[in-house]
């Protein structure tokens, strides 16, 4: 069953986990230095804007509540783009790759800090990052991909894999 609009509970869950990861990324960057905070913030801003404008603007949830609740927001910020090019242009993969680097940063950075000097706060930070990444990634196929119109129509490669229709 696909959702015309994702349940608010799914959106809240996903946004909470994603926000927690991004905040911890900022906290980790702040422990390293101001330039890391600036760099991390720019990376997140560029990658999110890029994903929204190149991927989300082509999604069938454009103007509707997707699994992250962004479809409505995207429709107000960016014009609609051709849906047949969803996950088909190089720039979409570039922006998605940048976003994945931004999501991996808190894990890499907190592990680096812990390796430089052990203390309980850094260990808790690393455990929190791992917990939030797992909380976002592990249930995602069940909560989002299984019910997403992009996977059902075959446009999303992850959705095709989750549904078992990937050739």
Neighbours of 166 (CB within 10 A): 12
pTM of the model: 0.90
* 113: nearest Cα among 42, 51, 28, 53: 28
What are the domain boundaries of the chain?
8-163
111 φ/ψ angles, rounded to the nearest 5 degrees: -65, -40
Give the whole-angstrom CA distance, residue 5 versus residue 75.
14
C-alpha 69: how far from its chain's center?
A: 12
Per-residue confidence of the chain (167 residues) as pLDDT tens digits? 899 999 999 999 999 999 999 999 999 999 999 999 999 999 999 999 999 999 999 999 999 999 999 999 999 999 999 999 999 999 999 999 999 999 999 999 999 999 999 999 999 999 999 999 999 999 999 999 999 999 888 888 877 777 775 54
């Amino acid at each position: 069953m696909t959702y015309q609009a994702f349940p608010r509970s799914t959106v809240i869950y996903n946004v909470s986990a994603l926000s927690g990861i991004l905040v911890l990324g900022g906290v980790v960057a702040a422990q390293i230095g101001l330039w890391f905070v600036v760099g991390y913030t720019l990376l997140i801003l560029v990658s999110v804007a890029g994903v929204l404008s190149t991927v989300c603007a082509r999604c069938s949830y454009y103007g509707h509540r997707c699994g992250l609740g962004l479809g409505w927001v995207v429709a107000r910020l960016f014009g609609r783009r051709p849906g047949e090019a969803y996950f088909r242009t190089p720039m979409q993969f570039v922006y998605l790759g940048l976003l994945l680097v931004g999501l991996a940063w808190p894990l890499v950075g907190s592990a680096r800090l812990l390796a430089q000097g052990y203390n309980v706060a850094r260990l808790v930070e690393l455990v929190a990052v791992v917990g939030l990444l797992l909380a976002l990634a592990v249930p995602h196929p069940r909560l989002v991909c299984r019910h997403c119109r992009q996977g059902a129509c075959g446009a999303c490669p992850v959705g095709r894999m989750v549904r078992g229709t990937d050739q």
